[in-house]
Amino acid sequence: MIKVALAGQPNCGKSTIFNMVSGIDQHIANYPGVTVDKKVGRFSYENEKIEMVDLPGTYSFSSYSLEERVSKQFILDEKPDVIVNIIDASNIKRHLYLTFQLLEIGMPVVIVLNMMDVAQRRGIVVDSKKISQMLGCKVIEASGAKGIGSKEIMEAIVQTSKNVEKYEEFSINYEELEPHIKEIENAIEQTKLTLNKRWMAIKMLEGDDTITSYLKKEFLNIEELTRTQIDKFHTLYDKDTTSFLATFRYDSADIIYHKAIKDVNIGKETITDKVDKIVLNRWLALPILFGIMFLIYELSIVGGYKLTDYTWPILAFIKNFVIDISPEAYLTDVPMVTDFAVWMINSANALINYIPIFFILFMLIAIMEDVGYMPRMAFILDRIFKKFGLHGQSTLPLVLGGAMVGGCAVPGVMATKGIADDRARMATILTVPYMNCLAKVPFYTLILGAFFKPDMSIMMFFISTVTIFTALIVAKIITSTFLKTRETAPFVMELPPYHLPTVKGVILSAAQRVWIYIYKVLTIVLAVAIVLFALLQFPGISKQSQEQYDSELEKSLTSFDKKVKKSSYYEEVDTKDEIADLLNYYDGYRNKRMATTSKDGALAIDETYNKKNPNFYKFIKPLKDNDAKIINAEIRKLAKERNRILRNIKNEKVENSLLGLSGKAVEPLTKYAGFDWKINVAFLSSFAARESAVATLGSLYEDNKEQSQRAEEAMAANSGYSELHAVAILIFMLLTPPCIATMIVVKMQTNSYKWMLFAIFFPIFLGITASSIIFTLGNLNSWSGLEAMSYFYFSIVLTALIIGFFPTKNINWQGGLKNV
Amino acid sequence: MKLSQMIGGSSCKIVKSNATNKLYHKLLDMGFIPGATINIIREAPLYDPMQLKIHNYLITLRKSEAALIEVVQL
C-alpha cells in the first residue's frame, strides 16, 4: 500500500482534490489528542492500493500553530511514501513557499496545480513542464471543481513511489548559512531517526519545537549548539536565521515564478477586487452582512422548521409503531418496558427532529466557506468582538446559536472549528450556549402566557435581545480569567479570492457534519437518556400510595360496572380483562385520531379499528345505538379517571425519584431565587432536551379537575407564584446551561471533559446568582415583574457597553520561542 | 514609518519587522519579508483591521500588529 500525505496551504482547494481523487470512500477521525479533523481516503489505481491522508491546511511547515504541529507530527511518525502538494495555480508564488519546505523534508513530492481553469481565465499561463524540471518532481495540472486531473494524480503517485530509488535528495544552497547547517548536521550524525539530517538541521536553526524535542532525547547539548550557531550567524552577517530562511525560500519561489509563469493581467483589477469594493465597502459592508445573516437564518432556522412539519409525521409514525409493539397497560398498571420505550423514542425524536434544520444550515456554511465570505465577515466585525476577547470569526457561531429569536447551540459550537485563535475559539464555544436556543421558546411562551399576558411582546423583546449582551460579557469574563493562559494566535488572516462552490463539495461537507451529529451526539444522548430515566423511575412510589391508587381505581371500576349494567351489551364488558382491553382500545383510537388532520386518514383509522375489534368499535362510534352509547359515555369517564390516576402516580414517582430528591435537596440554595423543588425538577429534566421542561412543568401543575385547562393557565392558577418568581425563572432559563446535545459538541470541540463540566456549572452559577439578586432586590423594593426584568436587562446592556467602550491596549499573544 | 499609519490606496516596502515570537514567524510565513511590496487596499468599516495585498494575494492585519512593521512609502 502506498501512503500519501496531502499537503497544501489553506484555500488551495485541497478538499476538492481530496474528494475528487478518493471518491466517497473516506472517513473522518481526529488527530490524536487534538480536535483537528483527519480525513483518510482509500482507493486503488492499477492494482496499487493507495491510502491518502488529508493534512490540515498550513501556510508553512514550522511548529507555530496547532495545524502545523499536527502535520509535522504525522510526517515524522507515519513516514508517508509520497507527499502530494496542492498549489493554487492562480496564486503560485505564495504557495511555492510551502512547496520548498515540503521538498526539503527529503521525501518524494508530487505537485498538483489546482484551479488551472481559474488561472487560465485570469490570463495566467503556467509552464508546468518547466516547474517540473526546475524542482525535480512531477507536476500535474488539475481542476478539482471541474473534475479534471484525477487519473493523472493517481498515475503520478504510483510512478513516483515506484521510482523511489531514483530519488535524489532535494536541497537548497543557503550560501552563507551553509557552514552552520553543516555544523549541526555533523552533530546529529549518529541519530537513530531515519529522517533527512539536513532537514532536521535546518529546522533546528529555525527553532522548531517538534524537531528540537525529538533530537533533545538523543543529544543533550543540541539546543545549546544550535543557539551558538544562530548567534554566530547573527554576529557575522547581522541576520536572523528564521528571517533569512524565509526570505531565501520566497526568493526561490520568485525565481520559479519569473521563469515559468506569465501573467498578462498582473496589476489589473480582478473580479475579487471588484466584489470586495462592494462587499467590504465602508457603508455597505454591515448592511450586506446583516442581510446575509438574516437570509441564513430565514433559510435554515425558519425554512428548516417548516420542513420539520413534513418530517415530524414520520417520527410520529415511528413513535406510534414503538408504542404499538410495546406491551399494553393493564388498567393503571403500565409495564416499565413501555414507559422506557416511549421515553427513549421521545428523547431520540426530539433530536432527530432538528436534522432538516442542520442539513440546510451546514450546506449554507459550506457555501460561505467555499465562496470565501467567512474570513471577510471576520474582517468586518473583528473590531467589536476583539473587545470582548472573541475573534471576528466568532460571528457565525453566535448567529447560529441564536442571535435572533432562536437558533441552536449545536451547529453554533460545531462552526467554531475554523477560528484560528485558540483562546477566542474556546471563548466562543463556551459562550454560544448563552444565545437563544430555539427549544427554549416554548418555555418562555409558557411562562409569559401565565404571568405576563399584557406585556408579552416587550418581555419577549427583552428575552431575545439580552442574550447577545450576556454572551459578550461572559466572553469577556472567561477570557480574562479562566482562559487567560490559553494560546492565542495573531490576527493575520488571508482573504482568499472568491470562488464558486461545487455542489458535490457542499453536499458532502453538509452530510459529513450531519453524520457526526447523528453518530456522536445521538448515541451519547441516548445513553444519558437511559440514566435520566432511571433517575426519574427509582425508587418509585410507596406501598401505601399504591394501595390508595388501587382503591381509587377499584371505586371507579365499581361505578362503571353499576352504570353499564343497564346496557344490553353488559356481557361484553363485565370482566376486568375486558375493560382493560377496551380502555387501551379506546385510548389507542383517540391518540391516533388526534394525530391525523385529514379526512382520509380518519377514515382509514376508523377502518383499521373496526377490523381490529368490531365488538369494541361500536362502543367508540355508537352512532344511534342507545345501549352502546351508555358504554361510550362510561368508558370515556373511566379513561379520564385512569389518566388522572396515572398522572398522580407519575407525579408522585417524580417527586420521590432521585431527580425529585435532588430537586428538593437544592431547594435551600434555590429558594433565594424563589425556586421550589418543582421548578428545580423541571430544570433538571430539561437537560435531556429543552422541550421536556415544558412537559414536566405542565404535568406538575395540572390540577386534574379541568381537562381543558391549558398548561399556562394551570400554572398561573395552581403554582402560587408571583410575577417576580416568573422573572427569576426566566433569568435562570436565559443563562441556564446547554442541553446534553450541546454539551457533547462542547466536549468534541474542546476535547476535554473538564471544559464540558465548566460549560455546565458556570452557567448554573451565573443563573442562580443573577436570579437570586433580582428576586431578592425585587422583593425588598416590591418591583413588578416587568420592572424587575427591565432592571436586569438594562444593567446587562450597560455592563456590555462599558466593557465595549473601555479602551484596551494589551498584547494579546504569547508563546513561541523562548529567549529569541 | 509604520504600516498601520499607511492609508488606503497607497503602497509601501517592508524595511523591518519588530514583531516577536509567534507573530514574527507567522508574518514571515505569510510573506512579510524585508523588501516585499505591500499595497494597502482599505480599512474595515470600523477602521480596524486593514486589508492588504502582498505577493499578489489579499490578507488582513489588525492595526496593533501592523504597527510592528516598519515600511517606506513608495
Task: Flag if A382 and B26 touch (Cβ within 8 Å).
Answer: no
How far is residue A412's CA from residue A406's CA, in Å, rounded to a whole number? Answer: 12
Written as nine digits, the cell of A798 is 450597560
- Residues A474, A803 contacting (CB under 8 angstroms): no
Of residues A384, A490, A813, nearest to B46 (C-beta): A384
Task: Flag if B21 and A815 touch (Cβ within 8 Å).
Answer: yes
Written as nine digits, the cell of A441 is 421558546
Q: How many CB pairs under 8 A join A and B?
A: 134
Distance from CA of A257 to the nearest CA of B (A): 11
How many other C-beta atoms lie within 10 A of the C-beta of residue A7?
28
Query: Is residue A688 over pLDDT 60?
Result: no
Q: What is the length of chain B?
A: 74
When pLDDT is cut at 50, 70 and 90, the band that residue A201 belongs to is very high
Report yes or no: A661 at the B interface, CB cutoff 8 Å.
no
Look at A143-152, A583-592, A727-736 and tell me which has the smallest mean pLDDT.
A583-592
Query: Is residue A150 over pLDDT 80?
Result: yes
As a whole number of Å, the CA-based R_g of chain A is: 33
Distance from CA of B16 to the nearest CA of A (A): 10
Tell me which residue of A612, A617, A605, A611 sits closest to A569, measured CA to CA: A617
Query: Is residue A811 over pLDDT 60?
Result: no
- Residues A416, A435 contacting (CB under 8 angstroms): no
Please name the amino acid found at residue A318. Answer: I
How far is residue A115's CA from residue A497's CA, in Å, rounded to a whole number? Answer: 12
CA angle A344, A347, A350 (to 5 degrees): 145
Written as nine digits, the cell of A44 is 486503488
Selected residue with higher pLDDT from B38 and A208: B38
Please identify, in words, the CATH class of the domain defined by A175-265.
mainly alpha
Q: Return the DSSP state at A572.
A: G
Percentage helix, strand, coil for chain A under 3-state DSSP, each rounded to 5 = 70, 5, 25
- Residues A180, A207 contacting (CB under 8 angstroms): no
Of residues B24, B29, B35, nearest to A59 (C-beta): B29
- Residues A770, A733 contacting (CB under 8 angstroms): no
- Residues A191, A212 contacting (CB under 8 angstroms): no
Exposure on the CB side of residue A320, measured as CA atoms within 13 A: 16
Residues 41-60 of A with CB under 8 A from B: 59-60
Written as nine digits, the cell of A49 is 492500493
Please name the amino acid found at residue A75. Answer: I
How far is residue A452's CA from residue A460's CA, in Å, rounded to a whole number? Answer: 10
What pLDDT is attached to residue A419?
84
Number of domains, chain B? 1
Distance from CA of A281 to the nearest CA of B (A): 7
| A2-166 maps to CATH 3.40.50.300 | yes
What pLDDT is attached to residue A693?
65
User: Does this chain's domain A2-166 share its CATH topology with A175-265?
Assistant: no
Q: Return the DSSP state at A705.
A: S
Where residue B8 sits, what CATH number does that domain have?
A: 2.30.30.90
Of residues B33, B46, B56, nearest to A93 (C-beta): B56
Look at A320-334, A779-793, B60-74 and tell me which has the smallest mean pLDDT.
A320-334
How far is residue A141's CA from residue A17's CA, in Å, rounded to a whole number? Answer: 12
How many other C-beta atoms lie within 10 A of the C-beta of residue A412?
29
Tell me which residue of A804, A73, A815 sits closest to A421, measured CA to CA: A815
What pLDDT is attached to residue B41?
95
Write out the residue range of the structural domain in which residue B61 sits. 3-73
Report yes or no: A96 at the B interface, CB cutoff 8 Å.
no
Exposure on the CB side of residue A356, measured as CA atoms within 13 A: 18
Query: Is residue A737 over pLDDT 80?
Result: no
Task: Flag if B29 and A495 touch (Cβ within 8 Å).
Answer: no
How many other C-beta atoms lie within 10 A of the C-beta of residue A315?
18
Task: Flag if B51 and A816 touch (Cβ within 8 Å).
Answer: no
How far is residue A755's CA from residue A772's CA, in Å, rounded to a whole number? Answer: 25
Sketch the domain layout of chain A as residue ranges.
Answer: 2-166, 175-265, 543-653
**A38-60 residues labelled b (16+ CB within 10 A) or e (exposed):** bbebebebeeeebbbbbbbbbbb
Q: What are the two backbone dihedrals, phi and then psi, of residue A199, each rounded to the nearest 5 degrees?
A: -60, -45
Q: What is the pLDDT of residues A450-501, one digit of tens each?
A: 888 888 888 988 988 899 999 999 999 999 998 888 888 888 899 999 988 8
Q: Is the peptide bond before B49 cis (omega within 30 degrees of 0)?
A: yes
What pLDDT is attached to residue A706?
43
Q: A140 has which bridge partners?
A: A112
Q: What is the pLDDT of residues A758-800, one digit of tens each?
A: 999 999 999 999 999 999 999 999 999 999 999 999 999 999 9
Mean pLDDT of A52-62: 90
Q: What is the pLDDT of residues A69-79, one digit of tens each?
A: 888 888 888 88
Q: What kind and span of H or E run contains A346?
A: helix A336-352
**SS3 category, A192:** coil
Q: What is the pLDDT of residues A604-643, one digit of tens each?
A: 888 888 887 877 777 777 777 777 777 777 778 888 888 8
Query: Is residue A704 over pLDDT 50?
Result: no
